[in-house]
């Protein structure tokens, strides 16, 4: 088996990734890795101001300061919100001014958080930007004049065709469940209208209304690429589970001596996607009849397995497996292991969303028709 995309049109994203990283390094001091967030108010937020320079220095991390005040660009795929799928709003990290909603967020494949439009009523400042040897349109917040990112005309056509490609470091995310207590209660109506929640009182229940599945079926790169696109799936994480070694690394797992399988942790909304339906996809995206093998990938780390997190999941998994066997969907016996889930270890960062970062990367999975 296998042994980066904001301020540009999609066709030029790869070329600018290195330039963006160099630009950032020239403009920013090393970050402490900690994200500084202002205390949440209890009163409605309506007085959005830019603090003085000294306060800003104390409030923001080096990365946040470099991006918002110096026009820097953070690295693609190595930022806080590029893969955030939780419901909520994004506000200016400097002033708290509301900017974007998760309802308008989409996967652009660039490695930066992308939106089709700002929140209705939000005024952004657009400026011509001719750096990096091309003409682009810079996006800045109106009240704090923070550099946010750039906007392009290669977004989803059915949503207006715009792609607001933003820096995570220029924003702070406020989850739906925290809108009221953070002073952004009026924006809860956006999510109530969209069916995400009926208001702040039920926001926590809505956020908790998910289920987790852990599945293994060969190389986790290809499996994740299929799983993350299934309607109802909210988050996917590739990693290792089912073994005996604590904190395994990719190279250790590849030896076959840790006992772990390459697996995907799938967080999904059971109101939109049942566990049974998810398993239906699972059995269609890999060959469950080859013991400890998927195509050219051989070893116990590539075994077919369902790691159940409850007895209800176990019963469903066994029923689905039995149904497929009875229907003779496969010419050979199904070898898929159904076992109790043990600790799941997230894989190294470069493995996460690998085929988004590397579109031509190794992939031996396809989704067969039913």
Catalytic positions: 165, 219
Per DSSP, 347 falls in state P
128: phi then psi, degrees, rounded to nearest 5: -70, 135
d(CA 237, CA 242): 15
Burial class (CB in 10 A: 0-12, 13-18, 19+), 234: middle
Strand partners, 346: 239
d(CA 109, CA 172): 21
Neighbours of 79 (CB within 10 A): 21
CB 238 within 8 A of CB 266: no
Burial class (CB in 10 A: 0-12, 13-18, 19+), 359: exposed
Within the chain, strands assigned E span 88-92, 98-101, 105-106, 114-115, 124-129, 136-141, 147-152, 163-166, 171-175, 211-217, 233-241, 261-268, 293-294, 297-298, 304-308, 337-340, 345-346
């Amino acid at each position: 088996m296998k042994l980066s995309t904001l301020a540009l049109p999609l066709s030029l994203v790869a070329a600018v990734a290195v330039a963006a990283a160099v630009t950032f390094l020239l403009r920013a001091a090393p970050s402490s890795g900690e994200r500084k967030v202002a205390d949440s108010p209890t009163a409605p937020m309506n007085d959005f101001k830019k603090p003085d320079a000294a306060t800003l220095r104390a409030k923001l991390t080096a990365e946040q300061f470099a991006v918002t005040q110096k026009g820097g660009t953070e690295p693609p795929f190595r930022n806080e919100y590029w893969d955030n799928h939780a419901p909520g709003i994004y506000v200016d990290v400097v002033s708290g001014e509301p900017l974007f909603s998760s309802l308008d967020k989409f996967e652009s494949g660039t490695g930066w958080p992308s939106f089709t439009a700002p929140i209705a009523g939000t005024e952004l400042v657009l400026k011509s930007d001719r750096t990096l040897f091309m003409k682009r349109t810079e996006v800045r917040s109106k009240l704090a004049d923070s550099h946010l990112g750039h906007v392009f005309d290669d977004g989803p056509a059915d949503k207006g065709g715009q792609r607001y490609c933003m820096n995570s470091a220029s924003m702070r995310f406020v989850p739906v469940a925290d809108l009221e207590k953070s002073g952004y209660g009026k924006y809860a109506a956006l999510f109530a209208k969209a069916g995400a929640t009926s208001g702040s009182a039920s926001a926590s229940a809505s956020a908790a209304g998910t289920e987790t599945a852990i599945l293994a079926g060969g190389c986790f790169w290809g499996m994740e690429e299929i799983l993350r696109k299934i309607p109802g799936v909210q988050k996917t994480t590739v990693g290792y589970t089912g073994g005996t070694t604590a904190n395994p690394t990719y190279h250790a797992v590849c030896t076959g001596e840790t006992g772990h399988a390459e697996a995907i942790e799938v967080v999904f909304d059971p109101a939109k996607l049942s566990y049974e339906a998810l398993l239906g996809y699972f059995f269609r995206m890999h060959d469950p009849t080859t013991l400890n093998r998927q195509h050219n990938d051989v070893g116990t780390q590539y075994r077919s397995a369902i790691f159940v997190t409850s007895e209800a999941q176990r019963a469903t998994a066994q029923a689905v497996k039995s149904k497929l066997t009875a229907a003779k969907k496969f010419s050979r016996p199904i070898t898929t292991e159904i076992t109790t889930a043990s600790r799941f270890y997230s894989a190294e960062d470069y493995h996460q969303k690998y085929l988004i970062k590397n579109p031509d990367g190794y992939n031996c999975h396809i989704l067969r028709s039913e």
